[in-house]
């Protein structure tokens, strides 16, 4: 779990503000949910491999003592830290549906937790940034989510990117057409999802290792990877109605892109969570490589809470990955420029009044002057300050960036 220095927090806050501004401009509203969820809900959420990474919270007091006496490990925990924001949203909507608009368009930017092995790019606590539409089964929602997420990524300045899209129904029909059974589709999809990590040979070996015929694995890889499976071929592999609606979704998303990013069909795209039921999408950064956002339709998840099928679709920006990219580039927060007002002991009232007059243009910090002002100016420059003003000479604004020799001058 991470701690962040002030300049790092400024960058993270700036990212959040840009994302929320874009989302709100499309009519989405922000909510929050607790970090803790019922362990029963978490375990039954179809979260794929994430279910193995749940931080489980022990029962408390007498309940814990009773569970220990029973000697059943499964009885020791009743709560867990959320591993993503989708399951909490489903429960939230089920609890509050009477007070929410229909459809409900929401923003969540909050922390999630997974019991990962800590390594570069993977922390046990991390921020997720989600935007969801609940209550609409129209593919217009997918088009809107692709568009608003792409606009947010553009505002963050990640450079060129491609939106890759697929549909779980299309993938399921392709898997069945290659000789796998209906009940095998989820397991096969989990292996296909590793294609970019273990390659075609790795996928084939894993499927054969699971007991599936090698010829079925070969046919599946031929279809998804080797035979140029394009949008024009979708209708030959799945229901024509599904194919037509899906291709129309891609067309409309491309039209709204205005040529600023690509929207492409990727028949091998899976997404790891088991709760996806329809369209799935990922955003791949061309400049930095790898995925920077992903999501899809999860029409069955909310029904686990209320016994009623409620359509839902969401998109999540890879906040931590983008933050690490921008930090490595030494990007600074895009807020107002920072200025410093220097004052001497006993002059804080006058310094505050001077700073108040500058705050329309700058974020202003009061700095008590020391003997070696050059060191103070150099430190402020390193922290990204644009200028400094001295209370005893308030009309002279000293730009920073020219202080290499200040220490010698002192």
Domain boundaries, the chain: 6-328, 337-409
What is the reported pLDDT for 43?
82
Q: Does domain 337-409 have CATH number 3.30.420?
A: no
The residue among 387, 240, 327 whose CA lies nearest residue 2 is 327
The answer, yes or no, to whether residue 145 has pLDDT greater than 80, is yes
Give yes or no for a contact between 238 and 249, defined as CB atoms under 8 angstroms apart.
no
Tell me the average pLDDT of the chain.
88
The answer, yes or no, to whether residue 188 has pLDDT greater than 70, is yes
Phi, psi of 201 (to 5 degrees): -65, -40
pLDDT tens by residue, 285-317: 987 778 999 999 999 888 887 888 899 999 999
Average pLDDT over residues 30-46: 88
What is the reported pLDDT for 111?
95
Q: Which residue has the higher pLDDT, 296 or 382?
A: 296
Phi, psi of 33 (to 5 degrees): -135, 160
User: How many CA atoms are closer than 13 Å to the CA of 287, on its beta-carbon side?
Assistant: 12
Average pLDDT over residues 255-283: 90
Which whole-number Å values give the CA distances from 25 to 127, 140, 149, 162, in the listed order?
A: 22, 17, 12, 23
Peptide bond into 103 cis (omega under 30): yes
What is the band of 406 on the pLDDT scale with cuts at 50, 70, 90? very low
What is the reported pLDDT for 168?
92
What is the reported pLDDT for 143?
95
Q: Which residue has the higher pLDDT, 142 or 361?
A: 142
> Which residue, chain included where needed, has tokens 């329809």?
278
pLDDT tens by residue, 163-186: 999 999 999 899 998 889 888 888
pLDDT tens by residue, 129-141: 999 999 999 999 9
Give yes or no for a contact between 311 and 135, defined as CB atoms under 8 angstroms apart.
yes
Q: How far apart are CA 263 and CA 231, in angstroms?
A: 12
**Secondary structure element (H or E) that encloses residue 297, with its range:** strand 291-297
Q: Does domain 6-328 have CATH number 3.30.930.10?
A: yes
CB atoms within 10 A of CB 407: 13
Q: How far apart are CA 153 and CA 148, in angstroms?
A: 9
Give yes or no for a contact between 403 and 380, defined as CB atoms under 8 angstroms apart.
no
pLDDT tens by residue, 246-265: 999 999 999 999 999 999 99
> To the nearest whole percent, how much of the chain has pLDDT over 70?
95
Which whole-number Å values give the CA distances from 358 to 10, 125, 216, 373, in the listed order?
A: 20, 38, 70, 21
Is the whole model's pTM more than 0.85, yes or no?
no
The residue among 190, 163, 165 whose CA lies nearest residue 175 is 190
What is the band of 407 on the pLDDT scale with cuts at 50, 70, 90? very low
Average pLDDT over residues 369-382: 91
7 secondary structure, DSSP code: H
What is the reported pLDDT for 169?
92
């Amino acid at each position: 779990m991470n701690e962040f220095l002030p300049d790092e927090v400024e960058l993270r806050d700036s990212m959040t503000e840009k994302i929320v501004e874009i989302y709100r401009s499309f009519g989405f509203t922000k909510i929050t949910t607790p970090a803790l969820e019922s362990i029963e809900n978490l375990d039954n959420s179809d979260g794929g491999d994430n279910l193995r990474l749940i931080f489980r919270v022990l029962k408390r007091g007498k309940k814990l003592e009773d569970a220990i006496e029973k000697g059943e490990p499964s009885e020791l925990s009743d709560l867990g830290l959320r591993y993503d924001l989708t399951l909490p949203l489903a429960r939230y909507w089920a609890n509050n549906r009477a007070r929410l608009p229909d459809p409900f368009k929401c923003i969540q930017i909050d922390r999630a937790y997974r019991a990962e092995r800590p390594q570069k790019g993977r922390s046990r606590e991390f921020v997720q940034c989600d935007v969801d539409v609940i209550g609409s089964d129209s593919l217009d929602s997918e088009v809107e989510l692709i568009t608003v997420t792409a606009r947010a990524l553009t505002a963050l300045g990640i450079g060129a990117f491609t939106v890759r899209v697929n549909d779980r129904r299309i993938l399921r029909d392709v898997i069945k057409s290659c000789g796998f059974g209906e009940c095998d589709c989820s397991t096969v999809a989990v292996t296909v999802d590793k294609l970019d990590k273990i390659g075609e040979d790795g996928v084939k070996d894993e499927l054969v290792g699971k007991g599936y015929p090698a010829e079925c694995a070969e046919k599946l890889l031929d279809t998804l990877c080797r035979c140029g499976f394009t949008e024009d071929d979708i209708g030959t592999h799945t229901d024509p109605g599904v194919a037509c609606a899906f291709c129309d979704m891609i067309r409309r998303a491309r039209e709204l892109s205005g040529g600023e990013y690509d929207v492409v069909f990727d028949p091998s795209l899976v997404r790891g969570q088991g709760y996806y039921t329809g369209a799935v999408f990922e955003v791949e950064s061309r400049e930095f490589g790898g995925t920077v956002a992903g999501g899809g339709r999860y029409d069955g998840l909310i029904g686990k809470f209320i016994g009623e099928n409620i359509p839902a679709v969401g998109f999540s920006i890879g906040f931590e990955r983008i933050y690490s990219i921008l930090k490595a580039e030494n990007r600074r927060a895009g807020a107002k420029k920072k200025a410093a007002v220097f004052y001497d002991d006993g002059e804080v009232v006058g310094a505050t009044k001077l700073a108040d007059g500058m705050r329309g243009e700058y974020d202003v910090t009061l700095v008590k002057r020391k003997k070696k002002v050059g060191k103070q100016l150099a430190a402020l420059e390193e922290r990204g300050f644009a200028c400094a003003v001295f209370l005893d000479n308030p009309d002279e604004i000293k730009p920073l960036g020219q202080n290499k020799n200040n220490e010698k001058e002192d």
